[in-house]
Amino acid sequence: MSSPTTILDASALKRALVRIAHEIAERNELSTEVVLVGVQRGGVNLAERLAGFLSGIWGHAVPVGSVDVGMHRDDLGRKVAPRIHPTVIPFDITGRTVVLVDDVLFSGRTTRAALDALNDLGRPKRIQLAVLIDRGHRELPIKADFVGKNVPTSLSERISVHWQETDGKDVVYLEKK
């Protein structure tokens, strides 16, 4: 593996999150309707961060949950079973605006699986998609509503997102596979 290129350092990452939070706030007038659901694993820290900024903007707490897409993937049985993480959504999503949060948007297959998983948990009024990095190469007709940074990539590259909470620092790298 050659040396990774830094796409977002800690301060750029923070600015991107603040901007996404403001865009979410701008799009959703009825702030009490909004809940955030992070996609396991990468979206969970991101959802918590966004919820922090959003509660600052709105002046009230924003519910945060997490969803695991392992049971809804379209490649089950084609490869080794994925590690399954908990789906924790301690509130009713029916009638709410769910902002689905993931770190990297790539083929769109994870998002598709997440939409199915959410569907089993209730009927949201609407679902919006927020991602930190959109790296292109979509294989499904899926588009993010909120994007931290668009990064054109080749298929031989990899995006790796690190969080202070779990990895010790905030940084996003572009790596050669």
Residues contacting residue 40 through CB under 8 Å, at least 6 positions apart:
66, 67, 68, 69, 70, 85, 86, 87
Place of tokens 């603040």: 18
Window of 26-34, 53-61, 75-83, 158-166 that interacts with other proteins by CB under 8 A: 75-83
Binds other proteins (CB under 8 A): choice among 1, 2, 79, 141: 79
Longest dimension (CA), the chain: 47
End-to-end distance of the chain based on CA atoms, in angstroms?
A: 6
Taking the complex as a whole, the smallest distance from the CB of residue 163 to other proteins amounts, in Å, to 21
For residue 154 the two structure tokens come to 């080749």
Question: Does the footprint of other proteins cover residue 80 (CB under 8 A)?
Answer: yes
| Residue with Cβ nearer other proteins (81 or 155) | 81
Question: Does the footprint of other proteins cover residue 87 (CB under 8 A)?
Answer: yes
Could you list the residues that contact other proteins (CB under 8 A)? 68, 70-72, 76-77, 79-87, 116-117, 120-121
